[in-house]
Amino acid sequence: MIPLVLVHGFMGGSAQWDCLDPFLSDRVTTIAVDLPGFGKNAALPPVDTITGLADWVIQGLRERGIHHYNLLGHSMGGMIAQEIARRHGNAVNKLVLYSTGAVGVIPGRFETIAQSKARAGTDGALATARRISATWFEDEEQGAGYPDCSVIAEQAQLPAILAGLDAMEGWSGRDGLADLDNDTLILWGDGDRTYSWDQIHILWSHIPKARLAVIPACAHAVHMENPSTFCQILVDFLTA
């Protein structure tokens, strides 16, 4: 069975995928990474470029003897997944780009990256983690998955938060979308506040072998809001 490598996004961690175990454990072998500075690797020095994070994931997989895999990236992890597919495309069987985009700085972003960095410095890592986690759910702090998501986000310290913002600010994959030759699933919740339909449509229309799945009544954390539907779509794609 080809394993599925799961790459979390900004202020995420491998534990965010635990809710999928009841739906995937007997169908798909998963390998969830913790990026440096986040989750279980919060103590590692953070990396401040998307390409550097992609190289870090590739090297880690090689060290584990994993040379052929399916790949899913969520949010900032979707940017990393695009870079992995460009650098290590022969190793990637199928690609899933989940609630993500082709540019690190979304046009019309609610505030500049510089403002986000200043706000994080003023508010502190803990408050920033809780605020960002709330935006992932349609019902914000009342979302069923919010407490677990917030606990994972709270593991990141300020240097990792700033590095993640720098990484996104310095990255664009727009010009390379046509070069992604993998069978690709674009997966998105129609209530996502982070990535609008315009960003999803760019991925869907510019990646040659892209298919699209839109899950209603979910925001940025579809896999935590509707894990059964998320997993069924995912398994159908991987096994097609």
In eight-state DSSP terms, residue 217 is T
CA dist 93 and 70 (Å) reads 5
Give pLDDT tens digits for 138-195.
999 999 899 999 999 999 999 999 999 999 999 999 999 999 999 999 999 999 999 9
| Residue pointed to by tokens 């896999």 | 223
Q: Please give the order of strands across the beta sheet that includes 30-33.
A: 30-33, 4-7, 69-74, 92-98, 183-189, 210-215
Q: What fold does the segment set 4-239 form as a domain?
A: Rossmann fold (3.40.50)
Task: Give the dihedral of Cα atoms 80, 81, 83, 87; nearest 10 deg.
Answer: 130
Give pLDDT tens digits for 72-131.
999 999 999 999 999 987 999 999 999 999 999 988 788 889 999 999 999 999 999 999
- Coil, helix or strand for 117? helix
